[in-house]
Amino acid sequence: MDVLTKEQRRRNMQAIRSRDTKMEVALARALFSLGYRHRKNDKTVFGKPDLTFKKLKIAVFVDSEYFHGKDWSVNKHRIKTNRKFWWNKIESNIKRDVVVNCQLKKEGWKVLRFWSSDVNKKLRTCIQKIERTIDKRRNAKEIF
């Protein structure tokens, strides 16, 4: 049984954003302040990554733990209401993420995925990983 009324639940679900979440914005701002220019939610790139560095072919995704199934085998049993719907939705999101990763890799993209909690708690670590990837890609382009 849900602890919220239907109206409260509806308002909560409407407030969930699919783009420009706090963690995406925090990561994008931090990268921008360091001088890294990127595109946000580029529709021309398969999977519409949260951030893209097109010239270097780097795609960055910031995934929410709930909707993208972090530790899914453990956490799936925590869902108590409307299980059939949520299990199907989250499992299809997980499958879609795998398809997006594979397709982008086939096209020569480097895919980076971060959990929103990691961006929130370890922003510097996430930025360092992106910076290392940018440096590797730049150095690889200089060789050719």
Share of the chain above pLDDT 90, in %: 74
Which domain range does residue 104 map to?
19-143
Separation of CA 143 from chain center: 30
The answer to whether residue 86 sits within a structural domain is yes
Q: How many structural domains does the chain have?
A: 1
Smallest CA-to-CA distance from 24 within 103, 102, 123 is with 123
Digit-coded pLDDT (tens) for 52-65: 999 999 999 999 99
Torsion of the alpha carbons at 67, 121, 10 and 89, rounded to the nearest 10: 0
The answer to whether residue 5 sits within a structural domain is no
The answer to whether residue 81 sits within a structural domain is yes
CATH of the domain at 28: 3.40.960.10
pTM across the whole model: 0.87
The answer to whether residue 3 sits within a structural domain is no
Whether residue 144 is predicted with pLDDT greater than 60 in this model: the reply is no
